[in-house]
Amino acid sequence: MIELISDTGERREMTINMGPQHPSTHGVLRLELVLDGEIIKKVKPHIGYLHRCFEKYAEEVGDYAKVIPYTDRMDYVSAMNQEHGYVLALERMLELELPERVEHIRVIVAEMQRIASHLLGIGAFGLDLGAFSPFLYLFTEREKILDIFEKISGARLLYNYMAVGGLMRDVHPEFKTDVAEFVKTFRPKIKELDDLLSYNRIFIKRTANVGVLPVEVALNYAASGPVLRGSGMKWDLRRNDPYSIYDRFEFDIPVGEGEMGTLGDCWDRYIVRVREMEQSLRIIEQALDSMPDEGDVMQAIPKRIRMKEGEVYVRTESPRGELGYFIASNNSASPHRVKARAPSFVHLCLLPAISKGSLIADMVAIVGSIDIVLGEVDR
């Protein structure tokens, strides 16, 4: 019990720091906790330890295409999704029409990246709460996705794979076979995850009725992605504001139902990510079936990008929520203004609202349940 007693015998508040080196802060984040004993009265997040300088660099680099590698470095856990949103914004400004093969490959790699991101988020979440074995099992599955990405891009984390108007290179001949094999072997692993972690009594005790986020509060804070869907609201940009070719595929939108506790708690946010991996497998299967075997993935890439004066905002459904890119052009070779709307930054702002009255140990579960990436917070 952490308790501070004054010379007169009165109880006083105590302020402690959680991070920036604390492992469960999922990066260099410092949380300033004001405590009454072990009860959290106030939380103040301190950011800025991992500033990527993305927006300023994008405006100074002198070339729209050279910005793509720097999108990878914001949310480095879902680099393909970061690239996808940026190139879509430029293609809308240029009014480019993409080959069908490009669209299908992009959807497949974006959904595989979503699975890889959730595997890391779920595994680290369980590890924070003391479940070590699921972390190893899930990383084994994530490695299979990274192996596929390495074969198509040459990289395992930061890919620079999507280009304005296409892809940096075509996929290898075994791509469809490799992806289909992963889908086949991974689906049974979700059932194993449920047996090992999702419905583990200790894990439920640590996450159910903890960090409850009512849907009204989520909307007021502009939450999105699994954080919003965990509170029971069916909102997914792939369905509600479709981009690329997502409107062609059948998939469900998992939401929290208060199955183990209160609607919108840490367990609901966790289980939404587990169920989303199942839906990503459905999308990948459909995209594989309709993907053309022929086609030049680089034919629509412009030799030189020079935007006409104007501005655009494009939003996509990243693994963490609504990722938006605002780009303003003044008829030059480089952007006049680039702004990235990062879901991790928005969700970090939720911490004071959903952690008041919790225990210090619950803070670990709450931070893990919103699944932030600090490169995207500080960008």
Contacts with 163 (C-beta within 8 Å, 6 or more apart), sequence order: 65, 68, 87, 298, 301
What phi, psi does 340 have (nearest 5°)?
-105, 125
Nearest Cα residue to 373 out of 78, 43, 31: 78
Strand ranges (DSSP E) for the chain?
4-5, 11-12, 14-18, 30-36, 39-46, 162-163, 166-167, 310-318, 321-329, 337-341
Half-sphere exposure in the Cβ direction for 250 (13 Å, CA): 2
Q: Give pLDDT, residue 51.
A: 86
Mean pLDDT of 335-360: 94
Beta bridge partners of 326: 313, 339
**pTM attached to this predicted model:** 0.95
- Residue 9's pLDDT band (cuts 50, 70, 90): low
Mean pLDDT of 273-278: 98
Better-predicted residue by pLDDT, 12 or 72:
72
Beta bridge partners of 43: 33
pLDDT in tens, 170-225: 999 999 999 999 999 999 999 999 999 999 999 999 999 999 999 999 999 999 99
Decide if pLDDT at 39 tops 60.
yes
Distance CA 238, CA 279 (A): 12
Better-predicted residue by pLDDT, 53 or 252:
252
Distance CA 157, CA 171 (A): 17
What domains are defined for the chain? 4-46 (no CATH), 54-378 (1.10.645.10)
Q: Give pLDDT, residue 10.
A: 67
- Averaged pLDDT score across all residues of the chain: 93
pLDDT in tens, 103-150: 999 999 999 999 999 999 999 999 999 999 999 999 999 999 999 999
With pLDDT > 70 as the criterion, what percentage of the chain qualifies? 97
What phi, psi does 295 have (nearest 5°)?
140, 145
Decide if pLDDT at 367 tops 80.
yes
Q: Give pLDDT, residue 1.
A: 44
Distance CA 356, CA 211 (A): 9
Q: Give pLDDT, residue 122.
A: 96
- Residue 247's pLDDT band (cuts 50, 70, 90): very high
Q: Give pLDDT, residue 305.
A: 84
Decide if pLDDT at 79 tops 80.
yes
pLDDT in tens, 306-335: 888 999 999 999 999 999 999 999 888 888
